[in-house]
């Protein structure tokens, strides 16, 4: 095989951190993309006297402006630092240390302690590379070669299998693969290499053993089979050069791949029907417009841009339609006269629209890539509200909270051949919540099958990012893809993988034998089917909310002002000043308090629904809230929060009404490594990070919620934060089918099992000092000690009692700490719960 042409890079002395990666030995073609990605994620800034170095999410040096940070309100400082690239925990440490600090000299000392080892030095006037938050917000991630290779290999496997055991050269050269967000071409390089190997094999079968066949195969594959789109023109230029260097030297010809690799926004454009109708929604074709499109491709592009511009230039559907009709009338008049199209003010999107049927005249056999990850609210922030509105109009049924990668799935679905595959690296929420119902669920409903899925994969650049790898197929390619593969962390799915995935462990081209041992970090299972939740099984309708579960589960209060919160020392001081203050100071239970299992560690001032005149009966407390909360509330965009600054922003009155007359309630944290519930007193104020469950039968309710029956349900339906579970009342509780008695009726057997478990948990917590999180880390591990064994046994007995309450005594769950996920009984249990939901919802 011919050697790949190396790429050398000469960088200025100031780029030492990047240049260290580009010295000898010569680098492969992918180095162009790596260097570009590193440079594109940075900007050059000049340090001033207020600059201070910290570390961002990836351990890179980032310089913050101390005057700017200290001028920000205390409650906004964490958000400010997160926007600059710090991790959530690092931002919290910095803000905690800076409480009450307004002097730069003292702030430097505080931040130096919070930061640890100094990441860099600099003097005022120095030029430094500063990580740019803009690239992070745009959701772009550079994909390492091994990961691109494995994704491409799995995407091509069904296509090649459908061609038979010995495809001809002509068949292989008709395969067309596209990356809709190609960056510098990492996936297209993988496609070219892989298809070129098969092309050489086809030639050799036909007797062609020419010495230059490998270089010639790469050139033919690149020119005929590889296509891509990107919003960055510099990335497109580098992708052309990278693909040229697979077989050529020097500079590529001026016209090389100009029609194959396009600059534009893959999500911003019209299909052929929309072009002819001069509309973004389904509508009859306009004869004059359709004729112009058929006659002049360049004119067709301009017409399509006018339609997109009409949409993006307005804020409401009514105004968009009015503007579209205005432009349509003007265009039809110009076409009738034979004059040039009229000019209209055009919004400036980040990239020009790409009208796929005008850019490419054929469907594609496969789409591969790593499209940007960007949540719905972040889409508006990065591209504007009209852009998000465009995506929702383009993809009916899509949700505004869905991640951008779900829209890429919807977009390529309409461009895929009847027999085709999709191989994407996606956010780990691709199988969860609104992103699932926007992306994977509609594709499976349209006939796609998921045939190869990897869940909870740590991103190579940073352990704080986890992704999923999904492969879909339809038509003959889907038949050639079976059996289906599911890769999931080898440990209990509530625990983080111990190390990053090695390329050999994630060889997606490898089909393991049924008796092959699992990989060290991800186990591989052959399954009969895969659902849009990225679990083994058959796709089923989503469960429906149940009337029996109404008005039980509530989110806690959103205070909208950290100034309401008090430490124990502050509370003691206020009570010493005036004992009457105790009437308006309450224990404050947050999700982190539940995880630590020590009860509330803070207190909160709560005036409830008092008028301002009534609140003045506690002058000490009102003065404190006026000082700490009112300045922040005065800037709140909602008028009611500005006017009633002494009240909580969202007090959750329904929660506290439901708790009246109850001594205890069930609680859990919205986000956690483990799904752990607890019983607490009802005289607290509960934070918005806490879910509270009000029932006259709290022990029986606790038993069902803490069981692995409910955990299985929640882990199928909840979303995640990294690999932590993000529990949701709407997704996990409101639709959960309780045993026949329901969530409000006491069951002696369930109550006894709950009491036994709570006692065993309390004993285990009273042993070695540890939090609930640490306790369940140990509980799910291999360590043996009597307190842990007693708690494991209590969990097993509770699970058995809950199954008996459902009359499902025939099911046998694995004993703790053996994980339930992946066991055959898990699929049977989830199917029974879905069936119970369907019956209860009737």
Distance CA 180, CA 110 (A): 46
Q: Which pLDDT score, from 0 to 100, does residue 9 have?
A: 32
- Lowest-confidence pick of 302-316, 366-380, 690-704: 366-380
Half-sphere exposure of 155 (CA within 13 A, CB side): 34
Give the pLDDT band of residue 640 (cuts 50, 70, 90). very high
Give the pLDDT band of residue 98 (cuts 50, 70, 90). confident
Distance CA 233, CA 236 (A): 5
> Is pLDDT of 659 > 50?
yes
Q: Which pLDDT score, from 0 to 100, does residue 140 have?
A: 61
Q: Which pLDDT score, from 0 to 100, does residue 840 have?
A: 96
Half-sphere exposure of 423 (CA within 13 A, CB side): 28
> Is pLDDT of 92 > 90?
no
> Is pLDDT of 788 > 90?
yes
Distance CA 673, CA 725 (A): 6
- The 10s digit of each residue's pLDDT in 178-192 is 999 999 899 999 999
Q: Which residues pair with 367 in a beta bridge?
A: 178, 422
- Lowest-confidence pick of 230-234, 337-341, 717-721: 717-721
Provide the sign of the torsion angle of the four alpha carbons 169, 175, 176, 178, taken in this order: negative
Average pLDDT score over the chain? 87
Distance CA 176, CA 178 (A): 7
Q: How far is CA 280 from CA 384, 405, 602, 797, in A?
A: 18, 21, 53, 58
3-class secondary structure per residue, 550-570: CCCEEECEECCCHHHEECHHH
Q: Which pLDDT score, from 0 to 100, does residue 139 have?
A: 54
- CB proximity list for 80: less than 8 A, separation 6 or greater: 68, 69, 72
Distance CA 532, CA 789 (A): 36
Instruction: Between 750 and 121, name the one with better pLDDT.
Output: 750
Angle of CA points 44, 50, 52, to nearest 5°: 70
Distance CA 833, CA 801 (A): 16
Q: Which pLDDT score, from 0 to 100, does residue 86 have?
A: 76
User: For the chain, how many residues are written?
Assistant: 842
Kindly state the average pLDDT of the residues 290-315.
95
> Is pLDDT of 480 > 80?
yes
Instruction: Between 25 and 640, name the one with better pLDDT.
Output: 640
> Is pLDDT of 506 > 90?
no
> Is pLDDT of 795 > 50?
yes
Give the pLDDT band of residue 131 (cuts 50, 70, 90). low
Chain centre distance of CA 489: 18
Minimal CA–CA distance to 605: which of 559, 656, 555, 657?
559
Kindly state the average pLDDT of the residues 791-801.
98
Q: Which pLDDT score, from 0 to 100, does residue 491 have?
A: 54
Give the pLDDT band of residue 250 (cuts 50, 70, 90). confident
> Is pLDDT of 511 > 50?
no
Burial 504-519 (b: 16+ CB within 10 A, else e): ebbbbeeebeeeeeeb
> Is pLDDT of 575 > 80?
yes
Instruction: Between 38 and 619, name the one with better pLDDT.
Output: 619
> Is pLDDT of 30 > 60?
yes
Q: Which pLDDT score, from 0 to 100, does residue 8 have?
A: 30
- Lowest-confidence pick of 143-147, 392-396, 497-501, 763-767: 497-501
Kindly state the average pLDDT of the residues 683-700.
97
> Is pLDDT of 810 > 50?
yes
Q: Are 428 and 720 in contact (CB under 8 A)?
A: yes
Distance CA 423, CA 409 (A): 10
Kindly state the average pLDDT of the residues 645-662.
96
One DSSP character per residue, 593-642 reads HHHHTS---EEEE--TT--HHHHTTSHHHHHHHHHHTHHHHTT-SSHHHH
Q: Which pLDDT score, from 0 to 100, does residue 430 have?
A: 95
Residue 91 tokens read as: 């931002």
Is the peptide bond prior to 611 cis by the omega test (within 30 degrees of 0)? no
- Lowest-confidence pick of 286-300, 555-569, 572-586, 809-823: 809-823
Q: Are 136 and 85 in contact (CB under 8 A)?
A: yes
- What is the DSSP pairing of strand 42-46 with strand 127-131? antiparallel
Q: Which residues pair with 42 in a beta bridge?
A: 131
Q: Which pLDDT score, from 0 to 100, does residue 118 have?
A: 61
């Amino acid at each position: 095989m011919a050697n790949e042409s190396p790429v050398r890079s000469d960088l200025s002395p100031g780029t030492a951190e990047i240049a260290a990666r580009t010295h000898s030995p010569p680098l492969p073609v992918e180095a162009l993309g790596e260097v570009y990605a590193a440079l594109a994620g940075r900007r050059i800034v000049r340090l001033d006297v207020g600059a201070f170095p910290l570390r961002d999410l990836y351990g890179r040096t980032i310089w913050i402006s101390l005057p700017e940070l200290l001028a920000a309100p205390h409650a906004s400082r964490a958000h400010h630092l997160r926007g600059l690239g710090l991790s959530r925990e690092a931002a919290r440490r910095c803000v905690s240390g800076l409480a009450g600090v307004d002097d730069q000299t003292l702030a430097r000392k505080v931040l130096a302690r919070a930061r640890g080892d100094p990441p860099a030095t600099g003097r005022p006037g120095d030029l430094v590379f500063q990580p740019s938050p803009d690239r992070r917000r745009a959701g772009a991630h550079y994909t390492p070669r091994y990961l691109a290779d494995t994704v491409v290999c799995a995407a091509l496997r069904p296509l090649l299998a459908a061609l038979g055991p010995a495809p001809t050269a002509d068949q292989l050269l008709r395969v067309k693969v596209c990356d809709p967000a190609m960056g510098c071409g990492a996936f297209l390089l993988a496609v070219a290499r892989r298809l070129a190997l098969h092309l050489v094999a086809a030639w050799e079968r036909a007797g062609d053993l020419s010495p230059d066949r490998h270089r010639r195969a790469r050139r033919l594959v690149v020119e005929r089979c590889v296509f891509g789109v990107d919003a960055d023109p510099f990335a497109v230029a580098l992708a052309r050069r990278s693909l040229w260097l697979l077989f050529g030297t020097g500079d590529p010809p001026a016209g090389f791949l100009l029609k194959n690799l396009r600059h534009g926004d893959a999500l911003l454009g019209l299909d052929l029907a929309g072009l002819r109708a001069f509309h973004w929604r389904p509508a009859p074709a306009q004869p004059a417009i359709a004729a112009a499109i058929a006659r002049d491709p360049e004119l067709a592009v301009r017409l399509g841009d006018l339609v997109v511009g009409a949409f993006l230039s307005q804020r409401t559907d009514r105004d968009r339609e009015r503007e579209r009709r205005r432009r349509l009338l003007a265009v039809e008049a110009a076409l009738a006269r034979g004059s040039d199209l009229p000019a209209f003010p055009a919004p400036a999107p980040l990239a020009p629209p790409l009208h796929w049927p005008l850019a490419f005249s054929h469907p594609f056999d496969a789409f591969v890539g790593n499209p940007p990850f960007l949540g719905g609210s972040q889409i508006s922030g990065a591209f504007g509200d009209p852009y998000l509105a465009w995506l929702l109009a383009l993809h009916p049924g899509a949700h505004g909270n869905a991640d951008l990668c779900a829209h890429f799935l919807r977009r390529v679905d309409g461009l895929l051949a009847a027999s085709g595959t999709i191989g994407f690296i996606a956010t780990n929420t691709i199988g969860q919540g609104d992103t699932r119902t926007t992306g994977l669920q509609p594709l499976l409903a349209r006939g796609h099958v998921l045939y190869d899925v990897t869940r909870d994969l740590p991103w190579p650049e940073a352990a704080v990012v986890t992704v999923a790898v999904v492969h879909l197929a339809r038509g003959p390619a889907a038949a050639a893809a079976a059996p289906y593969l599911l890769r999931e962390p080898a440990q209990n799915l509530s625990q983080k993988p111990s190390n990053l995935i090695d390329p050999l462990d994630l060889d997606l081209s490898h089909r393991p034998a049924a008796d092959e041992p699992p990989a060290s970090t991800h186990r591989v299972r052959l399954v009969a089917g895969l659902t849009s939740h990225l679990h083994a099984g058959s796709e089923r309708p989503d469960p429906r909310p149940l009337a029996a579960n109404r008005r039980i589960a509530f989110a806690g209060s959103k205070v909208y002002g950290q100034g309401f919160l008090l430490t124990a020392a502050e509370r003691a001081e206020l009570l010493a000043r005036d004992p009457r203050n105790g009437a308006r100071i309450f224990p404050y239970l947050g999700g982190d308090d539940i995880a630590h299992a020590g009860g509330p560690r803070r207190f909160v001032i709560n005036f409830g629904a008092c008028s301002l005149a009534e609140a003045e009966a506690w002058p000490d407390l009102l003065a404190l809230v006026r000082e700490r909360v009112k300045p922040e509330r005065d800037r709140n965009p909602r008028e009611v929060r500005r006017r009633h600054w002494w009240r909580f922003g969202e007090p959750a009155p329904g929660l506290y009404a439901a708790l009246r007359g109850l001594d205890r309630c069930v609680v859990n944290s919205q986000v956690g490594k483990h799904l752990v519930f607890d019983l607490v007193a009802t005289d607290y104020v509960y934070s918005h990070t806490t879910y509270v469950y009000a029932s006259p039968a709290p022990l029986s309710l606790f038993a069902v919620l803490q069981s692995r029956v409910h955990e299985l349900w929640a882990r199928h339906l909840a979303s995640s934060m990294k690999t932590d579970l993000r529990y949701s009342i709407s997704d996990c509780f409101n639709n959960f089918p309780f045993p026949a008695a329901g969530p409000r009726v006491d069951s002696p057997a369930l109550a006894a099992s709950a009491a036994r478990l709570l006692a065993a948990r309390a004993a285990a917590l009273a042993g070695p000092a540890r939090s609930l999180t640490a306790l369940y880390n140990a509980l799910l591990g291999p360590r043996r000690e009597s307190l842990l064994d007693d708690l494991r046994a209590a969990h097993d007995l509770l699970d058995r009692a809950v199954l008996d309450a459902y009359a499902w005594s025939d099911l046998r769950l694995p004993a703790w700490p053996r994980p339930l996920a992946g066991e055959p009984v898990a699929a049977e249990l989830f199917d029974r719960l879905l069936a119970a939901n369907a019956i209860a919802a009737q």
